[in-house]
Amino acid sequence: MSGTNASRADLARALGVDVSPALLEQALTHRSFAYENGGIPHNERLEFLGDSILGQAVTVMLYRENPTLDEGDLAKRRASLVSTLALAEVARSIGLGSHIRLGRGELLTGGNDKSSILADTVEAVIGAVYLDAGADDATAFVLRLIRPLLENPERFGAAMDPKTSLQELAARLGREAPVYTLTDTGPDHSKKFRAVVSLDSEDIASGVGSSKKQAEMAAALEAWTLLRTAAESAVATAETGASPSRPAAGS
């Protein structure tokens, strides 16, 4: 799936950093697309590099900006900020999914919105920025992507432990504890899991992942977002006399 020059220009503006077209194209190329197109270069080496740059940038930032936190708290925050869920959220915020080049099988199973693929591609783009623009620009790029998570403390906490955050929010709203239903597809060595989370026997949201835990966490974070938005809407509409609505089930 290859984007047009115009769409690549849109992505470049969203990224806010100059990357050579060739490197950016490689960063956006999933191995499934590469294998279907004669074994062209894909993004896994760039992903490997970007993972290291990401980890270093986040570690240094947390160390400098949180002088009172101990090692354990710093480690928890770093793990949250570089997690698959956090990086996938970053990817969605800049519309990265529509630019990823995927093979037919991945496209048919919604690969452009799979958290694992989105997160890996973010790391690959970070690697491309490092190679093209250097360490300082790559670090600035990482922090620009990550800071929106830090600027919303409640959202940051939910990303760290979405299942607990959802359970606590549901309790505050007087709803029953979340229930997760899991299904899986694919061969044993490459299973994909889908979790649906329900409250009061009502399906609220779903999530996918390469493990049961990842799928449940993705579903929980989506449900937390929807439930929190609905709660805020209820408060606002109560003040104006309108009728609030309950969150719709995720796809």
Q: What is the DSSP string of 145-167?
A: HHHHHHT-HHHHHHHHSHHHHHH
Q: Which of 151, 180, 206 is the last residue of a domain?
A: 151
Q: Classify residue 248: in a domain, yes or no.
A: no
Q: Which of 151, 178, 195 is the last residue of a domain?
A: 151
Q: Is the separation of the CB atoms in 137 and 160 below 8 Å?
A: no
Q: Kindly report the CA angle at 223 between 220 and 228, in degrees rounded to 5?
A: 120
Q: Are 116 and 191 contained in the same domain? A: no
Three-state DSSP class for residue 118: helix
Per DSSP, 95 falls in state: T
Comparing C-alpha atoms, which of 184, 207, 177 is closest to residue 195? 207
Q: Are 92 and 208 contained in the same domain? A: no
Q: Which of 102, 126, 151 is the last residue of a domain?
A: 151
123 is catalytic: yes
Q: Are 146 and 176 contained in the same domain? A: no
Q: Classify residue 157: in a domain, yes or no.
A: no
* Strand-strand pairing, 202-209 and 179-185: unpaired
Q: What backbone phi and psi angles, to 5 degrees, belong to 65?
A: -95, -5
Q: Are 98 and 205 contained in the same domain? A: no
Give me the CATH number covering residue 218.
Answer: 3.30.160.20
51 is catalytic: yes
> Which position among 25, 89, 106, 123 bears the catalytic label?
123
Q: Is the separation of the CB atoms in 170 and 178 below 8 Å?
A: yes
Q: Classify residue 200: in a domain, yes or no.
A: yes
**CA within 13 Å, CB half, 206:** 15
Domain that holds residue 224: 162-240
- What is the residue-level pLDDT of the chain in tens, covering all 251 positions? 444 444 878 888 889 888 999 999 999 999 999 999 998 999 999 999 999 999 999 999 999 999 999 999 899 889 888 988 889 888 988 999 999 999 998 888 888 888 889 999 999 999 999 999 999 999 999 999 998 888 776 666 677 788 988 999 999 999 999 999 999 988 887 788 999 999 999 999 998 888 888 889 889 988 998 888 877 777 666 666 655 555 544 44
Strand partners, 184: 193
Give me the CATH number covering residue 123.
Answer: 1.10.1520.10
Q: Classify residue 245: in a domain, yes or no.
A: no
Output the pLDDT for position 242: 54
Q: Classify residue 55: in a domain, yes or no.
A: yes
Q: Classify residue 64: in a domain, yes or no.
A: yes
> Which position among 51, 89, 106, 222 bears the catalytic label?
51
Q: How many domains does the chain have?
A: 2
Residue 47 marked in a binding site: yes
Q: Classify residue 119: in a domain, yes or no.
A: yes
